[in-house]
């Protein structure tokens, strides 16, 4: 589904991605982990075509993404920060996405799932941060696509919505989708991720299945398992 080959990216002198190669061929949930500034978001953005890598190629379903923007029909994106045109209503925002790409015809179920019906005619500028994040979630999950990219999906959500979101993510995995997500909350990785990719200073330092990781490090907690794993690679100051 997604094949990343030796991509690297520099912002001025700062190397954010160094020679990363990754392939995701099976459906499942992949947690992209790493400390702040390790290049998680940049990596996701290169897949989305938002950041253009200096070297290397990325293929989605075998097609080089630098050649054709239509591949993005196959990728839905939930960005970290939810800011929308202030003077548009929720309904109008949904219409924009609906007109831009293929959308699940039952997207109104999502709207009601997060209790957004009452806000449909409300201007986005008048919504609270949490509500905007819910709109954000709806926008990404309503897309008909094989791949879902979620950047810190639970930030700003209340616990009830967080639970609903997690269920949603699982159901989408069960629909056979590839889901790439970044998060700082280990619980979510623990609960959802099948596989994790660990980035450090722009390099991929670990990739493996969550179950394997727990087995090999003999740790119940994923957090500890990761710390152990990375410790083995002589990294002392680890922040997740």
95 and 75 Cβ atoms separated by less than 8 Å: no
37 and 199 Cβ atoms separated by less than 8 Å: no
Q: Does 3 bind other proteins (CB under 8 A)?
A: no
User: For residues 147 and 49, what is the distance between their CA atoms, to the nearest angstrom?
Assistant: 14
User: For residues 116 and 132, what is the distance between their CA atoms, to the nearest angstrom?
Assistant: 10
Q: Does 48 bind other proteins (CB under 8 A)?
A: yes
Q: Does 1 bind other proteins (CB under 8 A)?
A: no
Q: Does 73 bind other proteins (CB under 8 A)?
A: yes
| Least distance (Å) between residue 213 CB and other proteins | 30
22 and 178 Cβ atoms separated by less than 8 Å: no
78 strand-pairing partners: 150
The site map against other proteins for 125-154 (x = CB under 8 A) is --------------x---------x-----
Q: Max CA-CA distance within the chain?
A: 54
Phi, psi of 199 (to 5 degrees): -110, 145
Among 21, 61, 67, 85, binds other proteins (CB under 8 A): 85
Among 21, 50, 109, 232, binds other proteins (CB under 8 A): 50
User: For residues 80 and 152, what is the distance between their CA atoms, to the nearest angstrom?
Assistant: 6
**Best CA proximity match to 148, nearest among 132, 137, 159, 164:** 137
CB nearer to other proteins: pick between 34 and 79: 79
Q: Does 7 bind other proteins (CB under 8 A)?
A: no
CB nearer to other proteins: pick between 29 and 139: 139
CB nearer to other proteins: pick between 122 and 223: 122
Which range binds other proteins by CB under 8 A, 56-64, 78-86, 172-180, 209-217? 78-86
User: For residues 153 and 162, what is the distance between their CA atoms, to the nearest angstrom?
Assistant: 9
Q: Which residues bind other proteins (CB under 8 A)?
A: 9, 11, 45, 48-52, 69-73, 75, 77, 79, 81-88, 92, 96-97, 99-101, 123, 139, 149
């Amino acid at each position: 589904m997604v094949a990343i080959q030796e991509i690297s990216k520099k912002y001025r002198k700062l190397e954010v991605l160094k020679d990363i190669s990754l392939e995701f061929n099976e459906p499942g949930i992949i947690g992209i982990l790493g400390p702040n500034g390790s290049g998680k978001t940049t990596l996701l953005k290169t897949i989305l075509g938002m950041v253009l890598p200096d070297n290397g190629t990325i293929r989605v379903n075998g097609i080089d993404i630098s050649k054709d923007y239509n591949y993005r029909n196959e990728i839905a994106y939930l960005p970290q920060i939810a800011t929308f045109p202030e003077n548009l209503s929720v309904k109008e925002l949904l219409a924009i996405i609906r007109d831009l790409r293929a959308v699940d015809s039952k997207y109104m179920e999502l709207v009601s799932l997060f209790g957004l019906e009452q806000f449909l005619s409300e201007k986005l500028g008048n919504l609270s941060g949490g509500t905007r994040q819910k709109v954000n979630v709806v926008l990404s999950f309503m897309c008909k696509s094989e791949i879902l990219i979620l950047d810190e999906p639970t930030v700003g959500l209340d616990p009830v919505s967080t639970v609903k979101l997690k269920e949603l993510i699982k159901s989408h995995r069960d629909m056979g989708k590839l889901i790439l997500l970044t998060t700082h909350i280990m619980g979510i990785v623990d609960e959802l991720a099948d596989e994790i990719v660990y980035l450090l200073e722009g390099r991929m330092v670990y990739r493996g299945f969550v179950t394997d990781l727990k087995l090999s490090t003999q740790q119940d907690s994923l957090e500890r398992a990761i710390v152990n794993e990375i410790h083995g690679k002589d990294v002392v100051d680890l922040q997740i």
